[in-house]
């Protein structure tokens, strides 16, 4: 198998399950050393063991992306053990199906904290180093709901629109620094994303996609990330919209 990422160091937030774990697997198979970050240690350790089976170096670092210092510590630990970070995948994210009128305000706040502040904490922890080294790649896990409004997921879609707007502006600022920024915009993917988040029956009844044949697999997203980060210098894959064939939202 081709190993275009041999020698590269990657940090993946939300790397213990679902899309993040699949990205870790695909990047490790492509030759990268991988640091996985998430909050629950047991799941994180299981993920580390799975990636270690592929070979290469893998690190697991308990991290809450909402806590700025923890994200800085994650990057420092990765750099001490694996080397300078070439690629950061800001993947950790949460979402709840809710109707705005049902005022799930605690969940609104949690969603903004993880999906917006968490991404900023990631960028804040790697940007100076990447600028100093004159290279780096930041991959943000957005969503097709960051491209098209989505009833039942209004706050979630809003956070992904934030990621899109912030990233597009930052990308233009970073011209000439050697840093690339890619947003991945998946449609529905079979993960544990919806587990414990079924809090608003009205929204679920009206808008939840229960047709499993209209979902992508996590590996579909992992392969897209490998493609984005394996291009030659000078080629920027700025966004990848990837949806189930029979379920286009955009
Ligand atoms: N599944 C979909 O249909 C879909 C579609 C489009 C985009 N996405 C995006 O894809 C990303 C991954 O979602 P997924 O479907 O793979 O969900 P998932 O299976 O629920 O995985 C979420 C991951 O994020 C971690 N996480 C959650 N909160 C965190 C925090 N505060 N700090 C650090 N890690 C945290 C979780 O581990 P801990 O709980 O242990 O921290 C877990 O590893 C999200 O950004 C999501 O918005 C998903």
Q: What is the CATH number of the domain that holds 99?
A: 3.40.50.720
Residue 175 forms part of a structural domain? yes
- The per-residue pLDDT for 56 is 87
State the catalytic residue, choosing from 96, 97, 156, 161.
Answer: 156
- The per-residue pLDDT for 90 is 99
How large is the average pLDDT for residues 221-226?
Answer: 98
Greater confidence (115 vs 194) lies with: 115
3-state secondary structure at position 193: coil
- The per-residue pLDDT for 198 is 83
Residue 54 forms part of a structural domain? yes
Residue 249 forms part of a structural domain? no
For residue 233, what is the enclosing H or E element?
A: none
Side-chain half-sphere of 5: how many Cα atoms within 13 Å? Answer: 29
Q: How far is CA 221 from CA 102, 139, 190, in A?
A: 32, 12, 11
Contact 144, 186 (CB under 8 A): yes
On the question of pLDDT at 165 being above 80, the answer is yes
Residue 106 forms part of a structural domain? yes
To the query of whether residue 156 is one of the catalytic residues in this protein, the response is yes
The structure tokens 């029979």 sit at 246
Residue 45 forms part of a structural domain? yes
Question: Which domain covers residue 150, as residue numbers?
Answer: 9-242
Residue 4 forms part of a structural domain? no
Residue 237 forms part of a structural domain? yes
Instruction: Please tell me the distance between residue 193's alpha carbon and the centre of ligand 1 in angstroms.
Output: 6
- The per-residue pLDDT for 184 is 98
Burial status of residue 14 (CB atoms within 10 A of its CB: 0-12, 13-18, 19 or more): buried
Residue 250 forms part of a structural domain? no
Closest atom, ligand 1, to C-alpha of 15: 43
By mean pLDDT, which of 1-10, 84-93, 114-123 is the weakest? 1-10
- The per-residue pLDDT for 29 is 98
On the question of pLDDT at 92 being above 90, the answer is yes
Q: How many domains does the chain have?
A: 1
- The per-residue pLDDT for 114 is 98
């Amino acid at each position: 198998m081709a190993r275009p990422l041999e020698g590269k160091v990657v940090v993946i937030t939300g790397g213990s399950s679902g899309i993040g774990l699949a990205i870790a697997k695909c990047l490790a198979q492509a030759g990268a050393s991988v640091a996985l970050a998430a909050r629950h240690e047991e799941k994180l350790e299981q993920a580390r063991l799975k990636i270690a089976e592929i070979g290469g170096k893998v690190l697991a670092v308990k991290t809450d992306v909402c806590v700025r210092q923890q994200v800085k510590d994650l990057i420092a630990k990765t750099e001490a053990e694996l080397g300078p970070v070439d690629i950061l995948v800001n993947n950790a994210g949460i979402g709840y199906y809710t109707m705005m009128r049902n005022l799930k305000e605690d969940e609104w706040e949690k969603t903004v904290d993880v999906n917006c502040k968490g991404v900023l904490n990631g960028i804040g922890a790697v940007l100076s180093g990447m600028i100093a080294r004159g290279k780096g790649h930041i991959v943000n896990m957005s969503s097709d709901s960051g491209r098209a409004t989505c009833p039942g997921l209004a706050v979630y879609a809003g956070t992904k629109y934030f990621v899109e707007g912030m990233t597009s502006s930052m990308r233009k600022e970073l011209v000439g620094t050697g840093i690339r920024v890619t947003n991945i915009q998946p449609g529905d993917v079979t993960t544990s994303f919806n587990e414990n988040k079924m809090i608003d029956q009205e929204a679920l009844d009206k808008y939840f996609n229960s047709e499993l044949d209209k979902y992508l697999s996590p590996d579909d997203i992992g392969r897209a990330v490998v493609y984005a980060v394996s291009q030659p210098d000078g080629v920027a894959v700025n966004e990848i919209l990837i949806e189930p064939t029979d379920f286009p939202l955009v």
